[in-house]
Structure 1
Amino acid sequence: MPPVRQAAARHAVGRTGPPRDLAEETAVALSFDGTTQAVMMATPADLEDFARGFALTEGIAAPGEIDSIAVVEAGPGLDVQVWLRPGAAARLSARRRVMAGPVGCGLCGLDSVAEALRPPPPLPPGGLRLAAADVRAAIAALPGHQPLHDATRAVHAAGFWRPGHGMVAVREDVGRHNALDKLAGALAAAGVPGGAGAVVMTSRLSIDLVQKCARIGAPVLIAASAPTAHAVRLAEGAGLTLCALARAEGFELFTHPGRILTEGIPDVA
């Protein structure tokens, strides 16, 4: 059984009201075949999903190439030990990370600028189409699946919206990229294809999120905040639709607007 770590802790110093819940962040080592690939500051929950999704979005291993995952205590932190099936281990060195990643960094530690800024795999044209109402409904639904954020006001969320199904999975973490990796792992474990829906996030859209979303195979990425200029360029080249600054009342389209039936809302290229 994996060790039990609380995702939130109570804190009352200097408060006259009830103790406040604070989000936990823990040093989480992601080890593959006995070698540590990354040490990330992450919320100590859904760690098997985290490892499975990290392997997928970093191009280390497909879900079917993972033999086993175990979570063990490692001093003050946790070690998520992943064992791969033959053939996947050769990809480890290309994405080797050589330093701990702070909670806000999805690319920290990569020892090659080219690797950090690599273009994501192109998404196939066509496929998923969403109505503008789907985009608005997806961003409106996400807060209802964020219990840790409700308790702490300190974490991000990544969800997966499927037309006709609604929000089928959500994961939370102190790091936006960690939340997306956890979501990717949850989708892979459930056998949900990335192309069947849209990723929905609470955060700004940076290049690492575009890279990861493309590897998941999700053709639409919806976010409450804005994208960076580099993220827009990367998404344009990957064929990924970016819907940002999304609210229940509207959103802006930055790339590949053809996947969204905008019902008279002007496309934003």
Structure 2
Amino acid sequence: MIQDKHCKIITLSDRRKEDITLELIREVPLSIRVQGKSHTVIMRTPGDEVAHVAGFCLGEGLVDSMDDFSTLGYCEQDINVVTVTLKPERVHLIPDILKRKGFISQTSCGICGKELIDDLKQNLTTLPETSKVSMEAGLHCLDSLSAHQMVLYSCHAAALFTKEGGFLSVGEDVGRHNALDKSVGKLLVQDRLDMADLLVLSSRISYELVQKAARAGISVIFSVSGPTALAVELAESIGMALVSRKKNKGLLVFCGEDRLLSD
């Protein structure tokens, strides 16, 4: 269960005080073991463990597709541990990634912008020019994001759509990176990730989310909040469009205007 901790709180409005009970979002550790060794521990909202780890492995460059996994799963007695075994041929291709102590989804990594961009681009390729998204479809998907969420309170959401605006998957979590990993992972394990062209986020667009989206082949991101400067720099370098909503009305296109089709 995502919401299972009851908490008594006080509400204040119009100089009136009222005691109420709310269900709060859980945040618990998920241990990821790769090739029999502890790889990392993620604080996350319980649920979609296998999809979460599949998306994480794709975003971090551990795999390029489901074919790179030998096994992926967890013991039903302990859903806080997911074990990953890669095929031998994949292990030989990524020795540096397996040894890496830091991860893409760490904003405070201490790496300067230029070094980070150069490092990230080694695992990315320029997105196909043929992948374009309708502005109208993107706006509709942005407006409808909440309709696809099970939990609105305290959770980030990341939803994937086709270029025509068809809904594919959604991930929700206290961490915006986890939400995206879950959404991507659901399609990856179903072998449907190639259908996704549009990502819609409830959070700001950070460089980590651009990296993860690019690894998933996503060419357009719409978000309720704007991107960071580093996110725009990375997105521009691979031909990705970043769009967010203006405070009053309309949209802000930060890069990749040629990805957007006017209706």
- TM-score tier by shorter-chain length is 0.7 to 0.9
Note the C-alpha offset of 1:67.
2.1
Residue of structure 1 equivalent to 2:15: none
Kindly indicate whether residue 122 of structure 2 is the aligned counterpart of residue 127 of structure 1. Answer: no
Q: Structure 2: which 5+ runs fail to align? A: 11-17
Q: From 79, 82, 92, give the equivalent of 1:80.
A: 82
Return closer, same or farther for 1:92/1:178 CA change in 2, 3 Å cut-off. farther
AA of the residue aligned to 1:129: K
AA matched with 2:130: G
What are the Cα deviations for residues 133-157 of structure 1, in whole angstroms up to 9, with x where unaligned?
A: 11111101210011122xxx11101
RMSD between aligned residues: 2.9
Partner of 2:105: 106
Shift of 1:25: 0.8
Q: Which runs of 5+ in 1 are unaligned?
A: 1-5, 264-269
* Counterpart residue number, 2:34: 32
Query: Conserved in 1, the CA contact under 8 Å of 2:206 and 2:230?
Result: yes
Change beyond 3 A, Cα 1:235–1:19: same
| DSSP 3-state at the match of 1:183 | helix
1:127 CA drift (Å): 1.7
1:162 has 2:159 as partner: no
Task: Tell me the residue number matched to 1:55.
Answer: 57
Instruction: With the length of structure 1 as denominator, give the TM-score of the two structures.
Output: 0.82
Q: How does 1:183-198 map to 2 (within 5 A)?
A: 183-194=183-194, 196-198=196-198
1:171 corresponds in structure 2 to 171
From the superposition, tell whether residues 98 and 38 of structure 1 become closer, same or farther in structure 2 (CA, over 3 Å): same
Offset at residue 200 of structure 1 (A): 0.9
Partners of 2:56 and 2:240 lie apart in 1 by: 20
Q: Does 1:251 align with 2:251?
A: yes
Structure 1 stretches of 4+ moved >6 Å: 108-113
Alignment partner, residue 212 of structure 1? 212
Change (3 A) 1:196 1:14: closer
Letter of the 2:204 partner, please give it. R
How many Å separate the matches in 1 of 2:110 and 2:82?
22
| Contact 1:71/1:80 (<8 A) preserved | yes
Q: Could you tell me which of 15, 22, 27 is aligned with 2:24?
A: 22
From 44, 55, 61, the counterpart of 1:42: 44
Matched, 1:142 2:145: yes
Q: Partner of 1:205: helix, strand, or coil?
A: coil
For the residues of structure 2 that align with 1:52 and 1:82, how far apart are their CA atoms? 9
User: Which letter does structure 2 place at the counterpart of 1:41?
Assistant: M
Alpha carbons 2:55, 2:185 under 8 Å: kept: yes
Equivalent residues, number: 250
Percentage of identical aligned residues: 28
For residues 246 and 158 of structure 1, the distance between their equivalents in structure 2, rounded to whole angstroms, comes to: 19
